[in-house]
Copies of this chain bind each other. A is one copy, B any other.
Amino acid sequence: MLKPGSTIGILGGGQLARMIALAAAPLGLKAHIYAPEDGSPAFQVADAHTQAAYDDLAALERFARAVDVVTYEFENVPVDTAGHLARFVPVHPGAKALGITQDRLAEKSFISALGIEVAPFAAVDDEAALEAALARIGRPAVLKTRRFGYDGKGQVMIRPGDDAAAAFKAIGRHPAVLEGFVPFEREVSVVAARALDGTVAAYEVTENEHRHHILYKSTVPARLGATSVATAADIARRIGDALDYVGVFAVELFVVGKGAEERLVVNEIAPRVHNSGHWTLGGARTSQFEQHVRAIAGWPLGAVERLGARVEMTNLIGEEAETWPAVLAEPGAMLSLYGKAEARPGRKMGHVTRVFAA
């Protein structure tokens, strides 16, 4: 159990690291950011930062010795990096969560083995395997690299008539997974935390709307039957337990079917605080960022109840950040900007949270 005055080390210097650092401070904890990029947004709010590559073992060791626990803001932390750090200091979430979630095939197999439904999937290592997988799963289907994809990168849709070999080439002929298309009604997620003692606390299910493969808007509560609400929390608990997880994670889910036929299919797990949990910052009693800090510090989890009758979180992507004056002028709207200098298209620049009384 960390004491106030301790230092949390965070791999990655983007908005998630920044918001974790901002949540750590009121708990009396310092943040030390480790990121290779010049001018990383999280540097602005941290007590210390190390600008170095993720494979710089000497810098990693110095970093590890300067902090009391290490966490990360992205799931693609190289396993060697995490392993090296873990020689000197606890790393949360741990190696199992990283190893499984870095590999789409391992992740889907893991979830499926827990008896939780995922989209039909098949491993694709070459064109022959892809043809066989398409024959079994059908079209449309999505071909995704097993490793290092996010926000729609590293994946390609294969529709009826599309050339399968061209699709495989488009993702660089990397080891891949073919996923069957799930005819979903909507997309939801459950953000949950698991404490060092195994306690799990799940936030309410969040309904998510994507545009161009990037989260556009989250709404809480989600339109979801009571059975599915309970199922979502149960899925989170089972996944958290099976990963022996410590910290906040998100499970992205497809809602399939209507009414009594409604069921949930897991899309993927994110072993970190998640964009679909940003509504908790100002919209729940404890933000996902504070919750993550509590978990990795070995502290009890905070209350997850929603504030208000409905909460909406809208991302500010690229030039949408230019709307900040209107957001500031809107009573009750809560602005979060990420301190990024350049508003490139598709770049997450900030978000707005609105808590509605009714």
Contact = CB atoms under 8 A, between A and B. Distances in A.
Interface residues of A, number: 38
A300 B328 contact: yes
Given A285-B332, A339-B30, A25 B5 contact: no
Given A44-B47, A45-B47, A27 B337 contact: yes
A338 B30 CA distance: 11
**Of residues A44, A305, A338, A341, which shows the largest number of chain B Cβ atoms within 10 Å of its Cβ?**
A44
Nearest to A332: B303
A12 to B, nearest CB: 17
Interface in A298-343: 299-300, 302-303, 305, 307, 321, 324-325, 328-329, 331-332, 334-339, 341
A22 B30 contact: no
A293 to B, nearest CB: 11
Contacts of A294: 328
Interface string A338-356: 1101000000001000000
Contact of A324 (B22, B28, B324, B325): B28
A25 B339 contact: yes
A92 to B, nearest CB: 17
Contacts of A329: 300
Contacts of A263: none
Interface of A: 4-5, 18, 21-22, 25-28, 30, 43-47, 285, 294, 299-300, 302-303, 305, 307, 321, 324-325, 328-329, 331-332, 334-339, 341, 350
Given A5-B341, A45-B45, A305-B332, 11 more contacts: A4-B337, A22-B25, A22-B26, A26-B337, A28-B324, A28-B335, A30-B44, A45-B47, A285-B331, A300-B328, A300-B329
